Each structure stands twice: as structure tokens, then as C-alpha cells.
Amino acid sequence: MSKKKYTVAVVGALGMVGTEMIKTLEARQFPVGELRPLDLPQHEGVELYFGGRTFTTQIANGENFSGVDIAIFSAGGAASKKLAPLAVEKGVVVVDNSAAWRMDDHCPLVVPEVNADALKEHKGIIANPNCSTIQMVVALKPLHDAARIKRVVVSTYQAASGGGQPAYNELKMQTEQILAGKEPTVEKFAHQLAFNLIPHIDVFMEGDYTKEELKLVYETKKIMGDDRILVSPTAVRVPVYYGHAESLNIETEKKLSVEDVRALLENAPGIIVQDDPVNAVYPMPAMAAHTDAVFVGRIREDFTISNGINMWVVADNIRKGAALNAVQVAESLVEQDLVDPANWAGTYSG
């Protein structure tokens, strides 16, 4: 990591993901000279402790990006659309965790273990992919490089925290209410989530796929750099606090044995293989919560097709699915000397 120190803004600093971003910056010893927490006006003046120093939360506006080198956003799409261009105008490189810029042709969509080279084309804004996409492509990348993936059927089992702090709180409240024999309060989810599964995340779109499901389709193609990959998704919200799980059915052009897949994954960055079914060893959200890796297990051949593999992928959606990936993008920008506007591929102009 560079010896240079950077002024780093975190937009949405007091939210669930913003808080985790700040913890991750500190835990990974990112070279922060000044931390600038930015949030809503009502949070102005809140003090945050970072790296042995106290920093005061400021209002997220264009003026407060002056002097910032890197801004990591987790404040929602509307805020990102408004504020990211203002930051870029002041020479700030933005890593945005919302969906606002993900499919913009001028903004790289980056998972560092998969396509860090895409950062060289950034024009001031880099998009952080959706949480469920991140863990999937980390697991798919080694297989794609070895045998080219033709098709993926993915079913996700996504934790309540993927809906933010209010959704997390609602699951907790519903669980307590039901155990107390009360009617559960339903506000953030379409239905009761506690002791239930909901095959509905975000709004329904074309073909009755949800927006969350279509993110898996389009983001995967962009990150992997291969529009030929077919993705058939179903996204399900489950009564788990932290940790998304995914069942992947993968068809490749070339044959990969289970041993091939296991070896590829064991040697890939960011992945921990937990695959000893005889001894009941496989990834689970409860074990992956509050950790950084993408865990893969239940690796087995799909005997219904010639070149098919099934596997189970789990990761903490707040860590690797959001905060950690954004910080890793920032680290890669530093490593590739892409923070200084003089080294950008141009400046984002809308």
C-alpha cells in the first residue's frame, strides 16, 4: 500500500453500510490522512472515532468534497446521482455502492478479484456491484477463465440486512412479536419474514422478474466482460440477519471435474472452500457473518448435463457484499495509481 495519505470521505457514514465501511478502512489500515464522514443535515456534528482520532460528521453536499481524494458512497441512488458528479468536479474519485451508476457505460463495475483492470478506464466514478452479484462472480471467475461459463441458474437466499437497517430491525421485531404470540408488524417487506421465506426482493420488472434478479443478469455480464453468459435468477429473502447464500447450477463449454473446480477455487483470491459433506462441513450464513471471504461448498457434478457443476456460495452481504468490496476498490485505485485525476481515463460528463 502507498505511503501517501489520502483524505477519504464516506457518504452515508452513519448508515449500516457506511459504518461498516469506516470499520473496514481502519481494519485494513487504508492510508487515511483525514476521514471526512458525510451524512444528512440532522447528523451534522456527530463525532466518530477513527485511527486514534475523532472526526466530526459534516453535511453531504458539494462544498464538503473540497480537498477529498476518494469518496466512498453508501447513501442511496438519489444521493449518488446528485452528489457523485459534484464530487468528480472537485477531482474526487467516487466509489459508489448504490445502483445509480452500475450499468452506465462510462462507469466501471468492479469486483477487484475479478476485473480490477477495468479501473484503468474510470472517469471519476466506479460502481460497486449488488451484494448478491459480488459473491457470485468471485466464485464464477476461476471457472469462467478455465472453461468458459455458458449458463448459470442461481437461486439466492438473502439476509434481511440486505434491505438496510430498517429491514434488519423489522425481522428482529417480527421474531419477538411472534414468539410473544402477537401479530407481526409488516412494513418493510411484502409479507411477514420471520419464520418465512419471501420470493420477492425489490420491484417486479419485465417478465415478472424482480429488479434484484435482473441485477444478477446484467451486472454479471458486465463484470465478467462476456455478454454470452446466460443467467437465470430467482431471489428470495430469508429470515437471516447477515449473510447471503446462493445455489449455483453452472454449465461450462469445457468439462470440469469436481476436483478441477475445487482446485481452481482453492487457488483463487478471496475464496475459502468448505466442502466436506461427509463431516457436515459446508458454508452457512451464521458462520460467514462478520467475515470477509466468499465461502464455497457442496461442489458436485450435475449429472443431467454434460458439463455441469452445482455449488453453494455464502458471504456476508454487508462486508464483502458492500463495505469490503468498496474499500478493496479504493485499495486497487491506490495500487494502480489511479486516484490522481491526471491519471484518469477522462472525466465523467453524464
Total residue count of the chain as it appears in this document: 350
Q: Closest Cα to residue 85, out of 74, 71, 99? A: 71
107 is catalytic: no
Q: Bridge-partner residues for 315, per DSSP?
A: 244
Contact between 163 and 321 (Cβ < 8 Å): no
**Of 307, 305, 223, residue with least CA distance to 260:** 307
Beta strands 244-252; 308-315: pairing state: antiparallel
Classify residue 190 by burial, with Cβ atoms within 10 Å: 0-12, 13-18, 19+: exposed
Which residue is catalytic, options 131, 144, 191, 290?
Answer: 131
Whether 131 is a known active-site residue: answer: yes
For residue 66, the SS3 value is coil
The identity of residue 262, as a single letter, is R
Sheet containing 271-273, strands listed edge to edge, beginning at the edge strand earlier in sequence: 230-237, 149-158, 244-252, 308-315, 294-301, 271-273
Q: Give φ, ψ of 267 to 5 degrees.
A: -100, 10
Q: Which residues are catalytic?
A: 131, 244
